[in-house]
Structure 1
Amino acid sequence: MNKDLFLQAAPILQEIQDNGYEAYYVGGAVRDYLMDRPIHDIDITTSASPDEIEGIFTNTIPIGKEHGTINVVYNHENYEVTTFRAEGEYEDHRRPSEVIFVRDLYKDVERRDFTINAIAMDNQFNIKDYFNGYSDIQNKLIKTVGNPYERFNEDALRILRGLRFKSQLRFEIDSDAYKAMQEKIADTEYLSIERIIIELRKLLEGTDASIVYPLLNELQFFKYVPFFKSFNTSAIEIKDPIKLELLIAIMSFKQSSNISLSMLKISNDSKKKIQKYITLFNKLPDIKTKKALKVFVYDYGISTLSYILDMKDTLAANQIELGHPLIFNIESIDEINQNLIIRQRSDMMVNGKDILESLNQKGGPWLKDVLRNIECAIINQEIPNQKSEIINWVKTHVEI
């Protein structure tokens, strides 16, 4: 078990304890430590109030003080330290009406979602496990803390989180919890799309995504989610963990729709990736020669094409064929990538101005086509990437 991150944070717990308060590691980091999984973030919970934490440490940031969270900066690392808290009634199935600071660890962990996330651990690696979370880890079981209907009624995102943990951890969902998911799934319509996308992305990239994705359809989850509810998601199959952008591209490609990606509130970079995949799918049937493949590798890059090849089973399940394996394969793509003369248009030894001056022409839509023809000719080694050679080629090969 990797203790490094906990040992790095241990002086913070010790300092809090030396000032007369309790302090523990809690949540996903403890769960992953007990499962011997990689640990990325350490969360600390304490009986000390936010004001008391600010009094103990000199370098703090009040990132969420009203909710009990203070960022403690120690050895150039940031650690979130949150006061034990209870919560009032939940509004809209997504957020509590008030946060109440308490001094009792039990009160703090009993408000958490699943038993496997409700285990606390001190700086001596002794655990406080009020809800048998460690036993559920050993039994590979996802079970809510207390009544599942109450937990999902408080925050409907917990339904998606439970499914996400099943995908990532390869656990089974407790039968009572799954029944509650079925009855409370409609409450997910109250969730913000941003929260849904974060969880859905992690779920789809989980080891057991191919098993959990059908459960999303069985629960009719997507009918409550903007954008997705416009598609027949049950008609899409996934065979492996998949990036959200590729799943959306497959849906959009297979089921033509004018629904705007803006409904998802994803980044512009994600939108560009989706459109890139869709364009790629449309061009795949045309890749029948080594010459066409060279331009394809130049246009889409080895990273994207390697990923597409990795996802060939999922693409085939959705009737998206990659073309003949003797042409479109990782060995050919890698060889072409290593020998590309240029990797982007700016690598060409001419630009639009050079072409206009050499032909004594004014600009127009034709220029874009000429530059593209030059690109393809260089990529396929029909002309060297030298200014004089390119200009001569243009004069003899291009009609305006």
Structure 2
Amino acid sequence: MTENIWAAAFDIVRSLREAGYEAVIVGGAVRDRIMGLTADDVDVATSALPEQVKNVFTKTADVGIAHGTVLVIHPLAPVEVTTFRTEGTYSDHRRPDSVKYVTSLKEDLRRRDFTMNAIALREDGSLYDPFGGREDIRSGIIRAVGDPDGRFGEDALRMIRAVRFAAKTGFRIESATMGAIGRHAESIRKVSVERIKMELDKVWKSGRAGLAMELFHQTGLAARLPLMDSSRSASDLPVWRKFGEPDESVEGWALLSLLAGSPEGNPYKLSNAEKRTVRQIREAFDIRISRPYDEMDLYRLPAHALKTGWKFAWLTGKTGLPEPEEIDRRKAQLPVRSMRELDVTGNELIAWTGEKGGPWVKKWLGKIEEAVVMGRIPNQSDDIKGWFINGFNSER
């Protein structure tokens, strides 16, 4: 897919240039290419107006037409094409009040957040780099384009993005840029938690969550972000430094909620699936810090939750190093994986007792389920019947 999207982008640039327009590849894809990383998205910027872009290509979609973006549906991969533009004031610190199309590539790059993201790649492979982004990449520096106070005053989310890029790359945030984040930290409260969540999802997956949390505290952002109480920095930072690169970003939300003492991380509007996973991880953690997992724990909770709960118990110094292969092995040895695999049904319980159906059936199926999982009886109808009848009669 990566090769296809690059080929599609270069082909689109070529077609626009042949039609008489300036066109280049811009954004994070260029940064990642310089750094030798793969890019998931490749964007094109052009002097052509949106309607002119649509006239050049036969298949397009108006994905962001209000801001000058047209999706060109290329046979190899869809690519977003955006007209060169400048942006008006950001009265809400989140989005521009207006955009203005321009014919200057330099003016288009000037509006971008950091020098590493303000580099254009031409069709012949050469770079247009008016703000020194390539040198900053080589030096491992994250630097705002132009005046950092202006950049963060326009869009406060850029402060979170600076930290996220530091976590992704291991680069240092340049001192003037760092200072401006501290001065504008309070304005992060004006940014929707949905936008912040999208950035933090990437922070958790970066492999450097500890660095990110340290920067959040140093800049004062932590004091303004939900669940990041700066007073806990001394005890929490060592945990985040050992967090590593998780399999899923939800692990970051689970650890944040655990350290904050919040049940689900609701301030960030997690999805229902994410909230469920956070609860499962927290449950697994609570079990593991008090005792080893038993077979019912392995049966009830997903392997990912069990492994992550154990990992968190280790991160917080409450257990030894987690052994994920042990969980996989023991889960594979469980006699059943769900109640549907029991060699008995509710109708059989009714038939064996001669009683009418009722809540007792569900209760006894649960007891049988636990007895089978824990190895107290085999998952065989005759064995279950004898065990059940004895227990049922003893309760009458």
Q: TM-score, normalised by structure 1?
A: 0.88
- Between 1:122-131 and 1:236-245, the stretch displaced more is 236-245
Q: Tell me, which stretches of 5 or more residues in structure 2 are unaligned?
A: none
Tell me, yes or no, if the aligned pair for 2:151 and 2:158 is still in contact at 8 Å. yes
Provide, for residues 66-94 of structure 1, a one-character-per-residue CA deviation record: whole Å limited to 9, x for no partner.
11111111116221111111001112111
How many Å separate the matches in 1 of 2:229 and 2:183? 22
Amino acid at match of 1:240: F
Q: Is the 8 A contact 1:6 1:123 kept in 2?
A: no
Partner of 1:390: 384
Select the residue among 362, 382, 394 that pairs with 2:357. 362
Assess if the C-alpha contact under 8 Å between 1:222 and 1:233 holds in 2: no
SS of the residue aligned with 1:381?
A: coil
User: Aligned to 1:86, what secondary structure does the other structure show?
Assistant: strand
**1:194–1:265: 8 Å Cα contact kept in structure 2?**
yes
* Alignment CA distance shift 1:51-1:156 (3 Å): same
Cα pair distance change 1:264/1:163, threshold 3 Å: same
Q: Which residue of 2 aligns with 1:83?
A: 83
Query: Partner residue of 1:7?
Result: 7
Q: Cα 1:140–1:154, aligned 2, differ >3 Å: closer, same or farther?
A: same
2:327 corresponds to which of 318, 328, 333: 333
Any conservation in 2 of the 1:152–1:184 contact (CA below 8 Å)? yes
Runs (4+) off by over 6 Å:
none
Structure 1: gaps spanning 5 or more residues: none
In the TM superposition, 1:54-203 aligns within 5 A as: 54-75=54-75, 77-203=77-203
For the pair 1:298 / 2:302, whether they are aligned, the reply is: no
What secondary structure, in the 3-state scheme, does the structure 2 residue paired with 1:82 have?
A: strand
Q: Confirm or deny: 8 A CA contact 1:204 1:213 kept in the other structure.
A: no
Distance of aligned partners of 1:46 and 1:182 in 2 relative to their CA distance in 1, 3 Å threshold: same
Aligned-pair CA distance for 1:395:
1.7
1:294/1:379 contact within 8 Å kept: yes
Please state whether the residue corresponding to 1:24 is helix, strand or coil: strand
Question: What amino acid is the match of 1:268?
Answer: N
Could you report, residue by residue, the CA deviation over 1:230-278 in whole angstroms, capped at 9, with x for unpaired residues? 79552423122356544444454455457x7543222100110111112
- Work out the number of aligned pairs and report it: 386
Matched, 1:270 2:268: no
Q: Deviations over 1:26-60 (max 9, x none)?
A: 11111001100121111111111110111111111
SS of equivalent residue, structure 1 residue 48: coil
1:265/1:382 Cα in 2 relative to 1: closer, same or farther (>3 Å)?
same
Q: Give the counterpart of 1:376 among 360, 370, 374.
A: 370
Q: What displacement does 1:358 show?
A: 3.3
Distance in 1 of aligned mates of 2:21 and 2:259: 58
| Inter-partner Cα distance in structure 1 for 2:356 and 2:57 | 70
Of the structure 1 ranges 341-350 and 8-17, higher mean CA displacement relative to structure 2 is found in 341-350
Which stretch of structure 1 is more off in the superposition, 240-249 or 113-122?
240-249
- AA aligned to 1:318 is T
8 Å CA contact 1:89, 1:97 repeated in 2: yes
Match for 2:216: what amino acid?
L
Secondary structure of the structure 2 residue equivalent to 1:123: coil
Residues 13, 123 of structure 2: 8 Å contact kept: yes
What letter is aligned with 2:349? I
State how far apart, in whole Å, the 1-side matches of 2:297 and 2:251 are.
18
Match of 1:240 among 222, 238, 243: 243
SS at match of 2:344: coil
CA pair 47-351 structure 1, distance change in 2 beyond 3 A: farther
Report the AA paired with residue 115 of structure 2: T
CA displacement 1:100-147 (0-9 Å, x = unmatched): 111111111000000000111022211111111011110010001101
Q: Separation in 2 of the partners of 1:298 and 1:271?
A: 20
State percent identity of aligned pairs: 31
For residue 81 of structure 1, give the secondary structure of its aligned residue in structure 2: strand
Instruction: Give the C-alpha shift of residue 346 in structure 1.
Output: 2.5
SS at match of 1:6: helix
State yes or no: 1:38 paired with 2:38: yes
Deviation digits for residues 139-192 of structure 1, max 9, x if unmatched? 010001101110010001000000000001110110110000111111100000
Equivalent residue for 2:283, pick from 279, 283, 286: 279
Q: Quote the Cα distance in structure 2 between the aligned partners of 1:111 and 1:23.
A: 17
2:191 and 2:68 mapped to 1: Cα distance?
23
Alpha-carbon contact 1:231-1:251 (below 8 Å) kept: no
Shift of 1:317: 4.5
Other-structure match for 1:19: 19
**Does residue 1:228 correspond to 2:227, yes or no?**
yes
Which letter maps to 1:267? S
Tell me which amino acid in the other structure corresponds to 2:13.
L
What displacement does 1:396 show? 2.2
Q: Distance in 2 between matches of 1:244 and 1:220?
A: 23
Task: Give SS of 1:40's match.
Answer: coil
From the superposition, tell whether residues 153 and 231 of structure 1 become closer, same or farther in structure 2 (CA, over 3 Å).
closer
For 2:3 and 2:389, the matched residues in 1 are separated by: 68
Distance in 2 separating the partners of 1:253 and 1:361: 46
Q: Supply the distance in 1 between the matched residues of 2:270 and 2:59 (Cα, whole angstroms).
A: 34
Residue among 306, 314, 337 paired with 1:343: 337
Amino acid at match of 2:294: L
